[in-house]
């Protein structure tokens, strides 16, 4: 079984500052990793995904994440945030052989201040 | 691109009512669909895995008689919340896998259910 831990429930940051949202996972099998963003009262939007290949994954809206197998981490980063990046961010993992059943972390609230 | 449509987007009904939520894959066939529930300020919790032509697999703690799932075709899964009560009020989200591409799932936009 897989599990996902998002280490920060809230991350306040000033506009144009860099940000890193942390995610660690555990699994006994190979996994796919995802980051989703959810704006208030809306559904999920996929930011980026790691399936295979390069461990540095670039996504939409200037976000990127790095898969680190030895540390079982998949931290999300952005070099310069905007007010519009304020949202809830979810890290998720699905096992490669389980029909893509996906487990979500608890979420991190990113709050960008002017 | 692939799209998953969920209907209705919002429903408000009285306690004791049964509510059906539909999840459709619009341009691909989905052998597997998943149903999630999200309470306010919480994460998405997997409720069940819906497999076309067979019984759904429910996660621990989810009442299968309360949350009826039917996956009658490769493009449609339905979740029926039977005899809904205020504690069933939540945001329900479905997702589907594209059988042909074998790529990770696409999510619907969710259904906000409010039971009065």
Convert the pLDDT of each residue in B60-114 to its tens digit.
999 999 999 998 888 999 999 999 999 999 999 999 987 676 667 889 999 999 9
pLDDT at B2 over 80: no
Among candidate residues B65, B73, B67, B77, the one with its CA nearest the CA of residue B22: B77
Position B102 scores a pLDDT of 61
Residues of B in contact with A43 (CB under 8 A): 93, 107-110
- Across the interface, of B104, B108, B109, the residue whose CB is closest to A100 is B104
Q: Does A89 touch chain B (CB under 8 A)?
A: no
Are the C-beta atoms of A47 and A36 separated by less than 8 Å?
A: yes
Among candidate residues B106, B104, B113, B110, the one with its CA nearest the CA of residue B26: B106
Among candidate residues A98, A110, A89, A97, the one with its CA nearest the CA of residue A14: A110
> For A28, phi and psi rounded to 5 degrees?
-90, -5
pLDDT mean over A32-60: 92
pLDDT mean over A79-96: 94
Position A61 scores a pLDDT of 94
Q: Does B49 touch chain A (CB under 8 A)?
A: yes
Whole-number average pLDDT of chain B: 91
Position A99 scores a pLDDT of 65
Q: Does A57 touch chain B (CB under 8 A)?
A: no
Among candidate residues A55, A106, A101, A57, the one with its CA nearest the CA of residue A77: A57
Res. A74 pLDDT band, cuts 50 70 90: very high
The CA distance from B75 to A4, in Å, is: 30
Position B1 scores a pLDDT of 59
Closest approach of A48 to chain B, Cα-based (Å):
12
CB contact under 8 A, B104 and A102: yes
Q: Which residue of A has its CA nearest to B30?
A: A99
Whole-number average pLDDT of chain A: 92
* Residues written for chain A: 114
Structure tokens at A72: 């079982």
Q: Does A98 touch chain B (CB under 8 A)?
A: no
Res. A58 pLDDT band, cuts 50 70 90: very high
Least trusted range by pLDDT, from A72-76, A86-90, B44-48, B100-104: B100-104
Closest approach of A43 to chain B, Cα-based (Å):
5
Our measurement of the distance from residue A48's CA atom to the centroid of its chain's CA atoms, rounded to an integer in Å, reads 8
Q: Does B112 touch chain A (CB under 8 A)?
A: yes
Beta bridge partners of B38: B44, B91
pLDDT mean over A19-48: 91
Q: List, for residues A94-106, the tens digit of each pLDDT value.
A: 877 666 788 999 9
pLDDT at B8 over 80: yes
Residues of B in contact with A101 (CB under 8 A): 34, 46, 49
The CA distance from A48 to B86, in Å, is: 35
Q: List, for residues B14-53, the tens digit of each pLDDT value.
A: 999 999 999 999 988 888 899 999 998 899 999 999 888 8
pLDDT at A39 over 90: yes
Helix (H, G, I), strand (E, B) or coil at B88: helix
pLDDT at A62 over 80: yes
CB contact under 8 A, B104 and A101: no
The CA distance from A18 to B101, in Å, is: 35
A19 or B50, higher pLDDT:
A19
Are the C-beta atoms of B49 and B55 separated by less than 8 Å?
A: no
């Amino acid at each position: 079984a897989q599990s996902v831990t998002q280490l920060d429930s809230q991350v306040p940051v000033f506009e144009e500052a860099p940000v890193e949202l942390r995610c660690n996972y555990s699994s006994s099998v190979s996994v796919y990793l995802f980051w989703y963003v959810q704006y208030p009262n809306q559904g999920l939007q996929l930011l980026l995904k790691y399936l295979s290949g390069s461990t540095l994954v670039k996504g939409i809206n200037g976000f990127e994440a790095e898969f680190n197998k030895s540390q079982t981490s998949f931290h999300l980063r952005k070099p310069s945030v905007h007010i519009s990046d304020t949202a809830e961010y979810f890290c998720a993992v699905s096992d490669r052989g389980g029909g893509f059943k996906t487990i979500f972390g608890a979420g991190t609230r990113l709050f960008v201040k002017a | 691109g692939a799209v998953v449509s969920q209907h209705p987007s919002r429903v408000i009904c009285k306690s004791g009512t049964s509510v059906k939520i539909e999840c459709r894959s619009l341009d691909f066939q989905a052998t597997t669909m998943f149903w999630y529930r999200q309470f306010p300020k919480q994460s998405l919790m997997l409720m069940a895995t819906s497999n076309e032509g067979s019984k759904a697999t429910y996660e621990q703690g989810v009442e299968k008689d309360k949350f009826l799932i039917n996956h009658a075709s490769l493009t449609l899964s339905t979740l029926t919340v039977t005899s809904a009560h205020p504690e069933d009020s939540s945001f329900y989200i479905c997702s589907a896998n594209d059988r042909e591409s074998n790529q990770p799932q696409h999510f619907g936009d969710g259904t906000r259910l409010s039971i009065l």
